[in-house]
Structure 1
Amino acid sequence: MKIAIIDYGAGNVKSVQFALNRLGFEGILSADPAFILNADKVIFPGVGAANAAMKKLRESGLDQIIPILKQPVLGICLGMQLLCNYSEEGNTDGLGIFDVAVKKFPADNKIPQMGWNTIHNLKSPLFDGISENEYVYLVHSFYAEKIENTIATTKYGLDYASALQKDNFFGVQFHPEKSGKTGEKILGNFLKIEL
């Protein structure tokens, strides 16, 4: 299986590669549109600020490639947020896959949310074999609001979308590569998804 990890200088990609290796797969870091378009699965990681990350995607032309991908795509953390319409972080327009805004947690929340929290209302093959209220690892100050494409929620002061799915696009706010056996199972489920 050919797994492309989108390389745009804004991802914690080594931990994603190690997690794939533990599952017996190799993830290849690439910014080459032809390679990404022809991969069996695409992982779109992200750590950092939305506006800087979108700038890098535009400079490389990957902002034009990602929305036309037809194979299963998994956005992780900032990668998921960039698949949304808009982020309040840096007043940034995203890729518009998910019709939702990414907002900053209210001031009465401790920001960032950092550490382990639970996922609920699981609704996708991504979560096959995962129980309600399993713990996953999160680090973020911005969140996607719940919409009809929400496939998991998390409570942190408010309920928000911790996972989204539309067609071949999946997004998780948490870091499956840092979420122990639960995260490994979710990554494994993603690799099994056939469209």
Structure 2
Amino acid sequence: MKRRQALWGIALLGAGSMAISGFKWINWYKRPDLIYIHRQKDLLAALTETIIPTTDTPGAIEAGVPEFVLKMVLENTGTPSQNRFIDGLKAIDPYSLEHFGKPYVKCSREQQNEIMRHFEQDGKPFDGIPGKVQRKLIGNSFFTTLKEYTCIGYFTSMVGATQALAYVFTPGIYQGCVPLQPGQKAWAIR
């Protein structure tokens, strides 16, 4: 008799957890708030600049990456990933205000890096097959989408390809294995 009660308890616990997570998944498939993302261009610019800052090479803002990220999220991202991205944008400033007392845009570089590390850890998918299923069903996390589109936008821009990478306009013959010298940039074309 106790075995039967234990099985019923496990079944009810599993059904309850599935119902709660099911409501969360339904929330990710709702119509995204695309108007909100248009109002957050300054925040988006600060986030992309945190990922690829201006150093001896131009940063993400100078390469036009915030506009690229906005366009990719609006036009080429699935509904669950759009919703997760917008939810992540909505969570940045409250987290920043709670921990540092000011909005993300006004935080120092170290504080912005700490906030981004938090959202990176928060959005990590599971390892292996469960992670693939998770990404397929509920899309990529906020940080994953932001980092992916920032890197693609930067390194495919004229600024990123010519100034951040070693750019050869006419590459010449194919060489399968080209050794890099110490301090040399990665190749943009080869």
More helix by share: 2
Greater gyration radius = 2
TM-score (norm 2): 0.25
More strand by share: 1
Which structure exhibits the higher relative contact order, with contacts defined as CA atoms closer than 8 Å and separated by 6 or more residues? Answer: 2
